[in-house]
Amino acid sequence: MKAEYINPFLESAQTVIEQVVQIRPSTGAVSVKDIKFVEQYIWIHIGVNGQMNGNIIFGLKEDVALKMISAMMGGYAISELDEMGKSAISELSNMISGNASTIMYNQGMTVDITPPRIVEMAQAAGFESSKAIAVPLIIDGIGELDIQVVVS
């Protein structure tokens, strides 16, 4: 498992979040952990194929997702995660992953990404127990967005 696989996603996430939320996130400690789906979280899965094969999983608490969506919508208060909100948070993960793909391409690695998929139940994710390289992004006033990279 190569830790450098997460760097393009971190770089991309910091840039994209700063652009759409107007806050530059800081990074927490890099760790290797078991993928664990917990309740009251929103999980967005994106597959990666090519010179890197694996999965990117973005995880955030529901209240953090609502704050993030509100910030993306110019401060309009969001109180529930409806279809529009799910679409917005999925698009954020898509923007991060697409930008990370471009960073990888510029580093000489060709990858394709799958469309984002919100995972509401661990069983629906189709993941077996595996290790992920994980880093939390801390967004002041909003909360944490976990990025987990699983390379197969």
Q: For residue 130, name the pLDDT band (cuts at 50, 70, 90).
A: confident
The percentage of the chain sitting over the pLDDT mark of 90, rounded to a whole number, equals 62
Max Cα-Cα span within the chain: 43
Q: Tell me which CATH homologous superfamily contains domain 3-151.
A: CheC-like (3.40.1550.10)
Residues contacting residue 149 through CB under 8 Å, at least 6 positions apart: 5, 6, 9, 54, 55, 56, 132, 133, 134
Q: For residue 87, name the pLDDT band (cuts at 50, 70, 90).
A: very high
The residue among 119 and 10 whose pLDDT is bigger is: 10
Q: List the domain boundaries for the chain.
A: 3-151
Q: For residue 128, name the pLDDT band (cuts at 50, 70, 90).
A: low
With a cut of 60, say whether residue 46 has pLDDT above it.
yes
Instruction: Give me the pLDDT at residue 124, please.
Output: 52
CB atoms near residue 134 (< 10 Å): 21
Q: For residue 28, name the pLDDT band (cuts at 50, 70, 90).
A: very high
Stated pTM of the model: 0.90
Instruction: Give me the pLDDT at residue 126, please.
Output: 56
